[in-house]
Amino acid sequence: MTTRTAASSEHLAWGRPAGSPFLDVDALLADRGKNIVICCGSGGVGKTSVSASVALRAAEQGRRVVVLTIDPARRLAQSLGVAELDNTPRPVRAVDTSAGGSLEAMMLDMKRTFDDVVTAHASPEKARQILSNPFYQALSTSFSGTQEYMAMEKLGQLSADLGLGRGGAERARWDLIVVDTPPSRSALDFLDAPEHLSSLLDGRLLRLLLNPGRGPVRMMSVGLSLVTSAMSKVLGGQVLSDVQTFVAAFETLFGGFRQRAEATLANLASPHTTFLVVATPEPEALREASFFVERLGDEGLPLAGVVVNRMSGSAVPLSPERAWAMAEDLPPETLEAVALRTHATRMHQVLRQRAAVRRFCTANTGMPLTTVPALPGDVTDLTDLRQVGDLLAARDE
Amino acid sequence: MSEPRHTLHIVSGKGGTGKTTVAGALAMALATGGRRVLLCEVEGRGGLAELFATTPLQGDEERRLLRTPAGGEVFGLSVDARDALTEYLASFYRLGLAGRALDRFGVYDFATSIAPGLRDVLLTGKVYEAVRRRTKGRPSSYDAVVLDAPPTGRIATFLNVHEAVSGLARVGPIHSQADSIMSVLRSSRTVVHLVTLLQDMPVTETLEALEELRPTGIAVGTIICNMVTPTPLTTETLAALEARPELHVPGLPPEQNEALAREFADELSALRDEQGCYERLRPAGLPLVELAHDPAGVDRAALHTLAGSLAEQLPEEVG
């Protein structure tokens, strides 16, 4: 990141609209009954840096934290020590552990997580068949819901280590899991994708190919022969036998998939979990955040509040109009005139963003909110993450 | 109005760089002189309808989104893999009852979601059909097709349909379909535009996408830098300025003058970062187009501005 001036903290003057409750991140992190924090939001709002900042802050306040990141920017990944995508939590160095906490970070390897599920639940012979099947390879690398599903799967595995309900939290390796959700256009994808994948894997075709004799036998076999002959006509016999091998080998896993997805969702609804919705102060991102808030309500999932990331601000108390007027009195090419016009443009943006956030608050009355000022440059190291954490937790009246 | 230099424009970019907006502006620029342009999206996100503030594009409808004063038109199409499969099967195989059975047993869902590469072949296949339609001289033919393609992380895989179906079909109808699509994609009529922001990650991804596209034989025409911060300062002026220049605005109290200088220093450092990113793109040796950031957000008027900016910077492409 480029050298930053002290101006960043003065931007706080442009924080949360009056009347909306403050989302107290520190109180949330201090609550030992909260063990899972999930950061959701549409693509490009800075979920990864917000979740990493929350995790670092919690660790430096004494929690034993693991953060599951999905697709961090390279330099951020390097500073967290997860540049190698190896699907295992690694301790993050240079974390201040004086409060007794710790931080581990991992980056989700979707294919490997999927492979592990297969290896764990199928016999070695079947696992080999599945792993080398072209349909499985496509499913585990390019199916649109797989990343979300595997994030859930990994969360399930990590939270098993929390020892919840077994009184094990004291001795467990972690007492807080922070999850960054996969990049997607819609924040809702995280909740929808697992259902999409499990309904595909539980679909009629697969059941039919597995057990052609079951059900109203004749109807089904007529249907089946039509299906298989049409498929071999279009795709060729090889493809059909690949599908059948895939399905047969996958059989043992099917029931498990739906159960696991349901268990993870149930886990998310527990009082141990809380969601943070991340948005930027732009109309589209806030609209997406509104959809997500509504959806969490429908699903009975606990929402702590909304983080409005990258709020523009200014420490210069000059309205855009005044700045323009002052610039007009100066020769246009002077640095002073350029600076004033740049300030005017910035102030227009500040005002537009404030209006967008105010509208969001009106539409979501009572929703706790915190704002994070826009920082110059990318968030790339622990110092940056600490600063984001400070700004996140600051009372930004 | 002349024949456009390329008849298929593929627009990709990292998520969040505004590739849908740029694809829309490019279609608009191509249509300005009076051409008929088809704008396709393939990810079922409804981004085109949102961009043109209209109701979602459904099924296989090719709806007019815009008409230019010179009589040019932009049509929108949201390509859906399932519809494309249905259409493909109906036109190549008279499956009849079997076709319905396929659907009923979820074969379509299966085929379009996890059959390796099939989805991409179906999506590019539909675009291919739209591009070729003109050569048959059918009434709904287009002068140019603009594709709002998947993001840079996936673009090479998406376009490399040959590779995609190799695990699925080595011979047979799908394979020959992939062959025909590939020959259009590799022809001199097709060009890829990569949209980026002048920021670290998008630039890195753009350079990676260039590497990944090279072996496919599909040509990249331009790199489009989107949301560039407008500034009256030239590169030279910027380079000559100190990191934190002193300001003396007459009539401004000292503390406000100081705050303004700090804020301006932040702006300058952001401009320098952008400049640095621009320099990283130069060695690629491709035309670099710059589209200014419009703080008012993207609406129709902004699209017109962007289209004008594209026409100005790419006269041989869209003029």
Q: How far is CA B294 from CA B132, B238, B302, in A?
A: 36, 21, 7
- Domain of residue B310, residue span: 8-232+285-318
Could you state, in order of their start, the residue ranges of all structural domains in chain A? 7-393
Q: What pLDDT, on a 0 to 100 scale, did the predictor assign at position B206?
A: 96
State the ipTM, two decimals: 0.82
Nearest by CB to A342, from B95, B243, B264: name it.
Answer: B264
CA B252 to chain centre: 46
- Residues B164-172: what's their mean pLDDT? 64
pLDDT, tens digit, 9 for 90 and up, residues A104-142: 999 888 889 889 888 888 888 888 888 888 778 877 876
pLDDT band at residue B119 using 50, 70 and 90 as cut-offs: confident
Nearest by CB to A200, from B113, B248, B297: name it.
Answer: B113
Lowest mean pLDDT among A17-26, A255-264, B38-47, B61-70: A255-264
Q: What pLDDT, on a 0 to 100 scale, did the predictor assign at position A4?
A: 42
Q: Is the CB of A376 inside 8 Å of chain B's CB atoms?
A: yes
| Chain A contact set for B269 (CB, 8 A) | 2-3, 376-377
Q: Is the CB of A317 inside 8 Å of chain B's CB atoms?
A: yes
> Which of B36, B115, B127, B52 has its CA nearest to residue B88?
B127
The larger pLDDT score, comparing residue B1 to residue B266, is at B266
Q: Edge-to-edge strand order for the sheet containing B220-228?
A: B63-67, B73-78, B36-41, B144-148, B8-13, B190-197, B220-228, B288-292
Contact B291, B306 (CB under 8 A): yes
Find the residue in A nearest to B166 (Cα): A134
Residue B158 in domain? yes
Tally the C-alpha atoms within 13 A of residue B55's C-alpha that lie toward its C-beta.
Answer: 4
Lowest mean pLDDT among A209-218, A237-246, B290-299: A209-218
Q: What pLDDT, on a 0 to 100 scale, did the predictor assign at position A6?
A: 41
pLDDT, tens digit, 9 for 90 and up, residues B78-102: 998 888 888 777 776 666 666 676 7
pLDDT band at residue A255 using 50, 70 and 90 as cut-offs: low
Residue B18 in domain? yes
CATH code: domain of residue B169: 3.40.50.300
Residue B243 in domain? no
- Residues B191-195: what's their mean pLDDT? 98
The b/e string for A191-215 (b: 16+ C-beta within 10 A; e otherwise) is bebbbbbbebbebbbbbbbeebeee
pLDDT band at residue B118 using 50, 70 and 90 as cut-offs: confident
pLDDT band at residue A13 using 50, 70 and 90 as cut-offs: very low
**B201–A4 CB contact, under 8 Å:** no
CATH of A7-393, one of 3.90.1410.10, 3.90.1150.10, 3.40.50.300, 1.10.1040.50: 3.40.50.300
**B269–A338 CB contact, under 8 Å:** no
- Residues A246-256: what's their mean pLDDT? 67
Contact A281, A311 (CB under 8 A): yes
**B110–A200 CB contact, under 8 Å:** yes
pLDDT band at residue A102 using 50, 70 and 90 as cut-offs: very high
Q: What pLDDT, on a 0 to 100 scale, did the predictor assign at position A54?
A: 97
Q: What pLDDT, on a 0 to 100 scale, did the predictor assign at position A204?
A: 61
**A5–B97 CB contact, under 8 Å:** no
Q: Is the CB of A316 inside 8 Å of chain B's CB atoms?
A: yes
**Residue A186 confidence (pLDDT) above 80:** no
**What is the radius of gyration, based on Cα positions, of chain B?**
23
Q: What is the residue-averaged pLDDT of chain A?
A: 81
- Residues B251-269: what's their mean pLDDT? 94
Most confident of A25-29, B106-110, B241-245: A25-29
Contact B31, B38 (CB under 8 A): no
How far A302 CA lies from chain B's nearest CA (Å)? 28
DSSP B95: -
**Residue A60 confidence (pLDDT) above 70:** yes
Contacts of B317 (CB under 8 A, 6+ apart): B4, B5, B6, B191, B221, B222, B310
**Residue A356 confidence (pLDDT) above 70:** yes
| Chain A contact set for B296 (CB, 8 A) | 352
- Residues B248-260: what's their mean pLDDT? 94
**B204–A43 CB contact, under 8 Å:** no
Q: What pLDDT, on a 0 to 100 scale, did the predictor assign at position B252?
A: 93
Q: Which amino acid is at B146?
A: V
The larger pLDDT score, comparing residue B312 to residue A160, is at B312
How far A375 CA lies from chain B's nearest CA (Å)? 9
Q: What pLDDT, on a 0 to 100 scale, did the predictor assign at position A284?
A: 81
Q: Is the CB of A324 inside 8 Å of chain B's CB atoms?
A: no
Lowest mean pLDDT among A128-142, A175-189, B164-178, B190-204: B164-178
Instruction: Provide, rounded to the nearest whole percent, the portion of chain A with pLDDT above 90.
Output: 37
How far B68 CA lies from chain A's nearest CA (Å)? 27
Nearest by CB to A223, from B101, B248, B266: name it.
Answer: B101
pLDDT, tens digit, 9 for 90 and up, residues A328-351: 999 988 999 999 999 999 999 899
pLDDT band at residue B45 using 50, 70 and 90 as cut-offs: confident
Q: What's the number of domains chain B is made of?
A: 1
pLDDT band at residue A5 using 50, 70 and 90 as cut-offs: very low
**B116–A206 CB contact, under 8 Å:** no
| Chain B contact set for A224 (CB, 8 A) | 105
Report the alpha-carbon distance of residue A169 to residue B269 in Å, rounded.
46
pLDDT band at residue B255 using 50, 70 and 90 as cut-offs: very high
| Chain A contact set for B109 (CB, 8 A) | 200, 203, 205
Q: Is the CB of A138 inside 8 Å of chain B's CB atoms?
A: yes
Contact A92, A81 (CB under 8 A): yes
Most confident of A67-81, A166-180, B210-224: B210-224
Q: What pLDDT, on a 0 to 100 scale, did the predictor assign at position A79?
A: 78
Report the alpha-carbon distance of residue A122 to residue B175 in Å, rounded.
33
Chain A residues 74-103 with a CB less than 8 Å from chain B: 74-75
Suggest the residue from A235, A347, A350, A380 to mutate for an interface test with chain B (most B CBs closer than 10 A): A235
Q: What pLDDT, on a 0 to 100 scale, did the predictor assign at position A2?
A: 40
**Residue A12 confidence (pLDDT) above 50:** no
- Residues A344-361: what's their mean pLDDT? 92
pLDDT band at residue A215 using 50, 70 and 90 as cut-offs: very low
pLDDT band at residue A321 using 50, 70 and 90 as cut-offs: very high
> Which of B89, B153, B90, B85 has its CA nearest to residue B120?
B85
pLDDT, tens digit, 9 for 90 and up, residues A264-305: 777 788 889 999 999 999 888 898 899 889 988 988 889 999
**Residue A397 confidence (pLDDT) above 70:** no
Contacts of B271 (CB under 8 A, 6+ apart): B229, B231, B233, B238
- Residues B44-72: what's their mean pLDDT? 89
Lowest mean pLDDT among A140-144, A304-308, B222-226: A140-144
Contact A178, A67 (CB under 8 A): yes
Instruction: Provide, rounded to the nearest whole percent, the portion of chain B with pLDDT above 90.
Output: 58
**Residues written for chain B:** 319
**Residue A3 confidence (pLDDT) above 50:** no
| Chain A contact set for B245 (CB, 8 A) | 335
Q: What pLDDT, on a 0 to 100 scale, did the predictor assign at position B296?
A: 76
Lowest mean pLDDT among A59-73, A208-222, B60-74: A208-222
Instruction: Provide, rounded to the nearest whole percent, the portion of chain A with pLDDT above 70.
Output: 76
Beta-bridge partner residues of A278:
A307
